[in-house]
């Protein structure tokens, strides 16, 4: 579309909005019917560690959404001289899993417990044995059952639990609903029915310490919808929550809310069987859409769903880019002391390019980028840690390479299970996330770490909210076309992408690094035990 056509589409409301509440940023992306981004806005936020729980205040959820929307609407006005009054379709996605519990008066019972918390170990273990199905610590049912085991006062008052995306959609539309992908991080899904697994619901309800509560588990969970269905419409109250100026009209079609894993799959066109994607940011995860079930239950492999209900083997790690961001902030402060104003993209590009001059094994340096605990490596409490020996080659290039190596290390350990033990094969593995805003560097390191070809699309840095906007447009169209064909034939007709294959020297260097990394994990564990937060 040209400028005039885009302005006309905006005036006619022929646009879709995707909102994603990520770990470090809330972003709003507006797309036209040809799926091109025409405006965006964002808000930076950070989780808080309060009373032993990683959380975000719900007040900041709404102030962040409103700021993102306001920036996006101002972007529309500036570029196209058009006022944003009506939006055909809206979709909300957010960091998956976690625990938001409400009473019958719709009041929040305890602060939002995010995916980052490692406080449900007993619950996750017991439910995994009960269901013969892996229940990760971050899943909503693990949080609920841990609260039961802890005898927490709020449990008797629970009337409804949901995820962050489900909460925001509920407030915008009045509907207590989740997309099937996000719902699969609440409670296990039966692939055949597309709903919560009834046999597992029955097993949970039969537990003696659950029977004493007045609620039934199936009555406090959100309803489930697959991609393409309509999850209600934007209410007048919801419109005022989005747009503080009051310009936005009610009536927009709402898409089923999804988790950031689901939007990552959509944003990389990875919902078809034997496709896969990797999303990297504050946390990281790989998604492999399965063409056959795994042979057994693995505690480090989660079985979740695509937005249209196909099973996915997910390797989720709590820590990825946080430590890189922290060191980049230090370098930024140093540059400022010298009177140099480095914009973030230039700063990261400069540091990442230095890593290309490093030794393949990062000079023997080892880094643990654990801002929080890490399930895959059995680390209970995160303590970012940098280690070198007297004979290590301590240089800026090696330092930056070990930061990148460490960011992908837990993911590589988890992926080894799928590749080496289950022999899971993917026809294509696409990566997305902020680490790939600097071209080639992070992509090549990831290819070397996993020893597989990695493809990055042109949308690699902004895939999540854009993917949610695509899901919103898909819901609004009410087409009979399935999601994978819709993506192939309409959204990704002419994809721009680049694929990098593993480099033998880089693979060997990473293997040396990961050997030292795994050998030093007891040191990381001891740091968490010895140094209080």
Q: Which domains does the chain have, with CATH numbers?
A: 264-532 (3.30.420.40)
pLDDT band at 116 (very low <50, low <70, confident <90, very high): confident
Phi-psi region of 327 (alpha: psi -120 to 50; beta: other; left: phi over 0): alpha
**Cβ–Cβ < 8 Å for 158, 165:** no
Q: Among residues of the chain, what percentage have pLDDT more than 90?
A: 81
pLDDT band at 460 (very low <50, low <70, confident <90, very high): low
Least confident of 50-59, 143-152, 296-305, 458-467: 458-467
Q: What is the DSSP string of 9-30?
A: HHHTT-EEEEEEE-SSEEEEEE
Dist CA 111 CA 101 (whole Å): 9
Which pLDDT score is estimated for 427? Answer: 82
pLDDT of residue 458: 72
Q: Which two tokens stand for residue 437?
A: 């805003």
The one-character DSSP state at 381 is: S
Residue count (the chain): 533
Confidence bin at 99 (pLDDT 50/70/90):
very high
Q: Bridge partners of 367?
A: 386
CA-nearest of 379, 435, 382, 388 to 407 is: 435
366-400 pLDDT tens trace: 999 999 889 889 898 999 999 999 999 999 999 99
H-only helix segments in 282-379: 322-337, 344-354
What are the C-alpha distances in Å from 319 to residues 22, 105, 204, 532?
A: 14, 36, 31, 19
pLDDT of res. 279 = 85
Percent of the chain with pLDDT over 70: 99
Instruction: Give residues with Cβ within 8 angstroms of 359, minimum separation 6.
Output: 393, 397, 398, 401, 509
Shortest CA distance to 418 belongs to which of 504, 303, 514? 303
Provide the token pair at 508. Answer: 């060997």
Work out the pLDDT band at 43, boundaries 50, 70, 90: very high
CA proximity to 90, closest of 257, 314, 215? 257
The pLDDT tens digits for 326-347 are 999 999 999 999 999 999 999 9
The span from the CA of 400 to the CA of 352, in Å, is: 7
Judge whether 315 and 411 are in contact, CB under 8 Å: yes
- Give residue 462's pLDDT band: very low, low, confident or very high (50, 70, 90): low
Rg (CA), the chain: 23
- For residues 9 and 36, what is the distance between their CA atoms, to the nearest angstrom? 12
- What pTM did the predictor assign? 0.84
Instruction: For the chain, give the mean pLDDT.
Output: 94
Say if residues 411 and 417 touch (Cβ distance below 8 Å). no
Higher-pLDDT residue of 281, 9: 9
Contact 474, 90 (CB under 8 A): no
């Amino acid at each position: 579309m040209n400028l005039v056509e885009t302005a006309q589409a905006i005036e006619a409301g022929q646009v879709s909005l995707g909102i994603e509440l990520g770990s470090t940023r809330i972003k709003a992306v507006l797309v036209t019917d040809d799926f091109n981004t025409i405006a965006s806005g964002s808000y930076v936020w950070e989780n808080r560690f309060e009373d032993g729980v990683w959380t975000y205040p719900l007040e900041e959820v709404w102030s962040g959404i409103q700021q993102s929307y306001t920036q996006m609407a101002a972007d529309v006005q500036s570029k196209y001289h058009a006022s944003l009054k009506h939006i055909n379709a809206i979709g909300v996605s957010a960091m998956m899993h976690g625990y938001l519990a409400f009473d019958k008066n719709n009041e929040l019972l305890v602060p939002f417990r995010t995916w980052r918390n490692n406080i449900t170990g007993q619950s996750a273990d017991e439910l995994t044995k009960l269901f013969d199905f892996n229940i990760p610590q971050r899943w909503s049912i693990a949080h609920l059952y841990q609260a039961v085991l802890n005898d927490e006062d709020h449990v008797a008052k629970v009337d409804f639990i949901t995820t962050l995306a489900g909460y925001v959609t509920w407030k915008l539309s009045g509907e207590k609903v989740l997309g099937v992908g996000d719902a699969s991080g609440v409670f296990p899904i039966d692939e055949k029915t597309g709903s919560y697994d009834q046999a597992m619901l029955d097993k949970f309800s039969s537990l003696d310490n659950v029977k004493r509560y007045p609620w039934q588990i199936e009555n406090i969970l959100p309803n489930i919808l697959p991609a393409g269905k309509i999850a209600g419409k934007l209410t007048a109250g919801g419109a005022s929550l989005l747009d503080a100026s009051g310009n936005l009209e009610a009536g927009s079609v709402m898409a089923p809310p999804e988790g950031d894993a689901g939007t990552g799959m959509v944003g990389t066109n990875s919902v078809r069987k034997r496709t896969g994607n990797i999303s990297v940011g504050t946390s990281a995860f790989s998604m492999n859409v399965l063409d056959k079930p795994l042979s057994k239950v693995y505690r480090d492999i989660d079985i979740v769903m695509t937005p249209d209900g196909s099973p996915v083997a997910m390797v989720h790690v709590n820590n990825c880019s946080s430590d890189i961001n922290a060191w980049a902030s230090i370098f930024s402060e140093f540059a400022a002391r010298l009177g140099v104003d480095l914009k973030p993209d230039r700063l990261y590009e400069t540091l990442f390019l230095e890593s290309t001059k490093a030794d393949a094994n990062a000079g023997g340096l080892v880094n643990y980028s654990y801002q929080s605990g890490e399930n895959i490596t059995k680390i209970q409490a995160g303590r970012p840690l940098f280690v070198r020996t007297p004979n290590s080659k301590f240089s800026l290039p090696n330092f930056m390479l070990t930061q990148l190596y460490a960011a992908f290390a837990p993911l590589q350990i988890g992926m080894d299970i799928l590749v080496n033990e289950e022999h899971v094969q993917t026809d294509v593995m696409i990566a997305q996330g902020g680490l790939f805003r600097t071209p080639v560097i992070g992509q090549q390191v990831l290819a070397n770490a996993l020893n597989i070809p990695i493809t990055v699309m042109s949308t690699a840095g902004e895939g999540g909210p854009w993917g949610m906007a695509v899901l919103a447009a898909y819901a609004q169209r009410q087409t009979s076309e399935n999601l994978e064909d819709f993506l192939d034939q309409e959204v990704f007709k002419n994809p721009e992408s680049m694929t990098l294959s593993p480099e033998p020297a880089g693979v060997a260097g990473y293997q040396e690094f990961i050997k030292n990394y795994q050998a030093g994990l007891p040191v990381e564990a001891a740091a968490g035990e010895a140094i209080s937060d």
